[in-house]
Homo-oligomer: A and B are copies of this chain.
Amino acid sequence: MTNPTPTLSHTIADIKAIIHREARRVTSYDVASLAGVSQSAVSRCFKPGASVSKATYARVMQAAQDLDYIPNAAARSLITRRSNLVAVIVAGAVSQHYSDVLSELSCQFSRRGMHIILFNLPSESAMDRTLAEVWQHQVDGAVVAARLSGDQVAEFERRQVPLVLFNRNVAGRAVSAVVCNQEEAARAMVTRLAAGGHKRFAMIDGPAQSPIAQQRKRGMAGRLAELGLPAPLAVAGGFDYASGARGLREIIDRFGGVPDVIVCGNDLMAIGCLDTARHDFNIDVPDRLSVTGFDGIAASSWISYNLTTMRQPLLSMAQAAAEMLVGLVGGTGSGHEQRSYSATFVDGATARLGPA
């Protein structure tokens, strides 16, 4: 009785038993021995574009399937020095806001065979500890949507880990970033509001540490000054719904009445402000008071709000960030390209506006 296939050292069951006994994982050696080829042949079969004969490829793939073999990414990354892992570092507060961004990044990277390790900062101060964990995992690059010091950026350079900042800037350092021009957005908003005849501006500001809040505030103040309008009455907020409600009360208290317009640091606060104005104070928006936001979150376009706001093109920005990082990992790109996006004005129903 002849056997047409080459004599194999082990059957599937044999090998599986051995693996089980030795409490090992299935390795390329196991596949090789089942397929009757060398380990390197197996390795080549899993490398796209490697030189393998059709017959060998088929035998190896069959054996791999029989044994449920999957290459070990850890071992591979050890030798190739590529982990196909990207760190995404976000500060806890913004992570809700950025859930769409996260999905988009995940899709974009997975399309290129890469995956995301998520680092969620409980507080911005935990960055150094977090970075240490990032280095351990040998990520190929990082997208950071959190505050980074100059030294921290320098460490990325020193370790040669490509870095793309998301909606953040680092003063005085050449670093790749995808940003939305917050200051310009704020100026545009003020311009429209002023054209609508608003004179007495108030604002509910974001957290003092937030660079985005700072930029929006600066843009607003700058444009108001240019237009010869009085500086806005600014109260502090925390970018959340409750801050909008509190902010309105504080403004009414300190203003001794209602201003012409309340520019809120983001949509969530604008919605809180709007709800409180209408339901608790019975203030007609926009007839007696205009309220505006920033961001263009989903809720801003709900019928109840139809918020006048500036929309950030977050999805495009996420795409750009992924694309830039992939470029940097691949060796393309300068390492300090800044892609700047503009927010678009959303002509809602919460502000009395002049002609466009």
Contacts and interface: CB of A to CB of B under 8 A. Distances in A.
Interface of A: 25, 68, 70-75, 77-78, 81, 83, 85, 88, 92, 95-96, 98-100, 102-103, 106-107, 110, 115-120, 122, 132-133, 135-138, 155, 158-159, 241, 245, 271-272, 275-276, 278-280, 298-299, 302-305
Given A74-B138, A107-B122, A304-B305, 9 more contacts: A68-B159, A71-B136, A95-B103, A96-B103, A106-B119, A115-B117, A118-B118, A272-B302, A304-B304
Contacts of A135: 70
Contact of A120 (B70, B110, B279): B110
Contacts of A72: 78, 136, 138
A70 B275 contact: no
Chain A binding surface SS class: helix
Contacts of A103: 92, 95-96, 120
Contacts of A88: 118
A305 B272 CA distance: 12
11 contacts: A74-B137, A75-B78, A88-B118, A92-B107, A95-B102, A102-B120, A115-B118, A115-B137, A116-B118, A117-B118, A280-B303
A291 B187 CA distance: 41
Nearest to A104: B120
Nearest to A85: B117
Contacts of A280: 303
Nearest to A135: B70
Nearest to A88: B118
A116 B117 contact: yes
Contacts of A305: 304
